[in-house]
Chain A
Amino acid sequence: MAKNSNSIQTKIINANQRRTLPDFREIFRYKDLFLTLAWRDFKVRYAQTTIGFLWAFVQPAVTLIILTLIFGTFAGIKPAPNHVIFTACGLSVWTYFSYVMTNSGSSIIQSQSMVKKIYFPRLIIPLSKAVVGLIDFGIAMLIMVVLMIYYGITPATTVWFAPLFILAGIIAALGVGIWLSALTVRFRDFQHIVPFIVQIGMYLTPVAYPIEMASERLPSGLIQIYYLNPMAGVVQGFRWSVFGGEPPGNLMYISFGMIVLIFITGLMYFKKVEDEIADFV
């Protein structure tokens, strides 16, 4: 009969037993489902649209033009090396973060027909969104690389740190996404809160202006609060790794501390809600 590496010999469901953190081994066993869900999302995303996959380029490109126009041309911010590339770099990580945040948040509600009918580790749903988001991130990076070639800018030697900051960005996005997916199950209000956070979040993150402007102009004490935004440190670090220049100061660790905190508490909260998801949605 069933000969499968997936099979568990004896499974025990005990009402009095509760875990604090998700069962990562179980999640690993479901890796095929995880990849299939990510692939489905990607496949379905531009279905029935006329220009299809091109939309993935249009959105970041237009955002980039608008931000450059407002912050570069109108406000006259002149960061190095030039405003378009500067913004493209910040925008690439921010796009990923906002994609994962928006889509994870509503992910479980949107999969409710599945969640009510079959068991699998629910964490797979928000996790798969983080994978799909990598495609958007790749496209945004591509735009940045093309612009760098166009303007003849070579990456700094610190570029080898970039994967580290990308990883931090992924964990930040996951942490926030996991929190929001669980919160949205309990409180539908978050469906309305998330787009709002995404909108103001971009202005509170140094996407289109250098973070030095924030540290110079904010009253003392407030800059620490500014760095509570996990993406503040990520965007700053990623940009430094690509363009070089003054290395980020110790304040960046506030952001990284927040990332770890959000990620771990997110997993814990998710686990707490997970058992009752089917009763809530």
Chain B
Amino acid sequence: MKENTSIRVSDLGKRYSIGKQKDTSLRSTLTGIFKPSSKVDQFWALKNINFEINKGDVVGIIGKNGAGKSTLLKVLSQITKPTTGKIEINGRVASLLEVGTGFHPELTGRENVYLNGTILGMTRQEVKDKFDQIVAFSGVGKFIDTPVKNYSSGMYVRLAFSVAAHLEPEILIIDEVLAVGDAEFQRKCLGKMGDAAREGITILFVSHNIAAVKELCTKGIVLKSGEIQYSGSQLEAIDFYHKINTPPKKTNGLFTNELIEIKSFETKSNTLTAISISSGFTFSMDFLHKTENKNLALTFELRSKDEVIVFHHGTWLCEENDSKKGIYSISGDVPANFLNAGHYSFNVIFASSLHDVFMNAEGVHTIEVENETLAGNNTILPGVTRPMINYSTEFKEQ
């Protein structure tokens, strides 16, 4: 590991089993001895995470709820073990996933400072040395020997944050803890974090507060569905985050934003009848491209009613930074005997590269594929596709 690297994460993944609680009960473990275990649904909360953070970087991790931000912090803080990959951490870490961890209501402020301080990794001696500073910063004053159950919630949080603020780590991992206390105290906290950053502490900061990320951080990582979508400067990361997360406006049922406007989206059966299993269909779209001299790629995604992605397929319109301002038209052909009967919806993604998305239009158009009777059987068969398969059979031996 290089001298100035603070954290290096390689190939990190964390898998959770859905319904784990239920499946590890004593009964199912006991019965599991006698019969093969039933399959559990699994999902990856984090996947293929790779990044490197240098000493003194202040990195903001942004993403929507469920993007894997908290899981990433938990894995980095060693609270839970990763399923794959490796993390190398250089330096003393303090992780603050909440303020006041371990605070006990029956204990006094003073006792809780010692308790919380040691939980955060300080020795009793260190807490003792900084005790006066902690109390002064919190503004709790003479109530320090009162049980914290009698504190106002503001006092409680201020005292808790003060302990954390006096940790002196080399790497600080913070989750949303700034969203506490009154406005004045929040400013004080942000100031303290800014000081820490100037002192050269490496900070990893997860927040929904984009403004705070913009102000405090120097780098940004955007997470979506457990994967890193973007990693770079904090401003670019915030831009990217906005792009993938601001839903385009819908006017007259179609989508528009400052870069793209979808003018029309239509589907037409390839036979004279309605769209059915054996008809196949053509989709066509007109859209206004509001910028120029860029690359332009379109991806069409078709999803079934149960959100199963049937296909995710696209094409380049311009590959040499030569896109023109104006209306483009595109059409595509979906073959017959491919989709099963049912309800499907189109998403369209406009982009110039993987990291530069113009628009992500979800649910642009929906289609209904009609069922066809198969050998007198009228029920809809399972599956998202229903291809024509030519079988050949033969009787081998008796």
Contact = CB atoms under 8 A, between A and B. Distances in A.
Interface string B24-41: 111001000000000000
A120 B95 CA distance: 11
A78 interface: no
Interface string A236-271: 000000000000000000000000000000000000
B235 to A, nearest CB: 28
Contacts of A44: 104, 106-107
A113 B101 contact: yes
Interface centre among A4, A9, A16 (most CB of B within 10 A): A4
Contacts of A113: 101-102
A15 B89 contact: no
A120 B108 CA distance: 23
Nearest to A111: B102
A15 B84 contact: yes
A278 B25 contact: no
Interface in A146-160: none
Given A10-B1, A15-B82, A15-B86, A36 B104 contact: no
B97 A118 contact: yes
Given A4-B123, A11-B89, A116-B79, A43 B24 contact: no
Interface stretch (B113-121, B226-234, B255-263): B113-121
B145 interface: no
Interface in B1-31: 1, 12-13, 16, 20-21, 24-26, 29
Nearest to A5: B123
A114 B107 contact: no
B178 to A, nearest CB: 16
B1 A4 contact: no
B294 interface: no
Interface string B61-83: 00000000000001101111111
Contacts, number: 127
A189 B25 contact: yes
A50 interface: no
A53 to B, nearest CB: 14
B53 interface: no
Given A2-B168, A36-B118, A40-B115, A8 B92 contact: yes
A31 to B, nearest CB: 9
A117 B169 CA distance: 17
B154 interface: no
B148 to A, nearest CB: 12
Contacts of B199: 1
A275 interface: yes
A48 B104 CA distance: 14
Contact of A40 (B12, B25, B104, B126): B104
B81 A276 contact: yes
B116 to A, nearest CB: 9
A7 B170 CA distance: 10
B192 interface: no
Contacts of A119: 77-79, 95
Nearest to B1: A10
B94 to A, nearest CB: 9
Interface of B: 1, 12-13, 16, 20-21, 24-26, 29, 74-75, 77-93, 95, 97-98, 101-102, 104, 106-107, 111, 114-115, 118-124, 126, 168-170, 199-201
Given A12-B88, A118-B77, 20 more contacts: A1-B201, A2-B91, A2-B168, A6-B121, A7-B170, A10-B1, A15-B85, A15-B86, A40-B107, A43-B107, A44-B104, A44-B106, A113-B102, A114-B119, A120-B119, A186-B24, A187-B26, A187-B29, A189-B26, A279-B20
26 contacts: A1-B170, A1-B200, A2-B168, A6-B92, A6-B121, A13-B86, A13-B87, A14-B85, A15-B81, A32-B118, A32-B123, A33-B121, A35-B124, A36-B114, A37-B115, A40-B111, A43-B106, A114-B102, A117-B79, A117-B98, A187-B25, A188-B25, A275-B80, A276-B81, A278-B80, A280-B20
